[in-house]
Amino acid sequence: MIIPAGRPHSLGVGDAAASPDFREVFDSHVRFVWRSLLGLGVGEADVPDASQQVFLVVHAKLDRLEPGCALRTFIYGICLRVASDFRRRAHVRRESLFAKPPERTAPATQEDRVSHREVLEHLQDALDRLDPAQRDVFVLYEIEGVDMSEVAAAVACPLQTAYSRLHAARRSVLAAFEPKEERAVGTARRRP
């Protein structure tokens, strides 16, 4: 599930004189953390626990935020590590079902909401199939709107590598949204 952004996040910068107030940091970044964790492959049921771990680390390290470090980038770096830990855990590696149970039919007035939900689920599936390095860059740049230089800093790679990962991720996500007929035609053209 992808959570839409509520209000713009502040990109607070660490101040050597005084660290930001934790409550303000929490209030302004909680939705960002949830969306980031979901985008990084943490299961919906595990997001509350993972989010709590992120904010425990933020609370412990907030006073050590380096001057000039973007707060959102700092928090996303913590999300990366927490999401990685959650994906590696044994309880996450459980049987995958091949078909989802059918959804209950919704009244006609909710068609737009259902359609929107399906698109978001399709996007989540496409994100789950991406290489983790590509997914990190795609989520930060395309979904969260973070500047590419901050993205490169958050994922600890050169700027050109971040652009390369973004390009590859875009290609994969767009391919996932192509109609099946177009994919079959495109595959047939590539065969010798």
Supply the pLDDT for residue 9: 40
CA distance 101 to 97: 10
192 has pLDDT over 50: no
Of 102 and 187, more confident: 102
On whether the pTM is more than 0.75, the answer is no
Q: Residue 91 — pLDDT band, cuts 50, 70, 90?
A: low
Domains 1-91 and 111-192 share a fold: no
Longest dimension (CA), the chain: 65
One CATH from 1.10.10.10, 3.30.70.270, 3.40.50.620, 3.40.190.10 for 111-192: 1.10.10.10
Supply the pLDDT for residue 10: 41
59, 85, 80: which is closest to 154 by C-alpha?
80
Phi and psi at residue 100, in whole multiples of 5°? -85, 150
Supply the pLDDT for residue 2: 44
Q: How many CB atoms lie within 10 A of CB 82?
A: 24
CA distance 62 to 66: 9
Supply the pLDDT for residue 105: 62
Range from 63-67, 70-74, 130-134, 167-171 carrying the lowest mean pLDDT: 63-67
- Give the fold, CATH level 3, of 1-91: Rna Polymerase Sigma Factor; Chain: A (1.10.1740)
Sign of the alpha-carbon torsion through 28, 152, 61, 128? positive
Q: pLDDT, tens digit, for every residue of 115-155?
A: 878 888 888 888 888 898 999 899 889 888 888 998 998 88
Question: Where do the domains of the chain lie?
Answer: 1-91, 111-192
Average pLDDT, the chain: 78
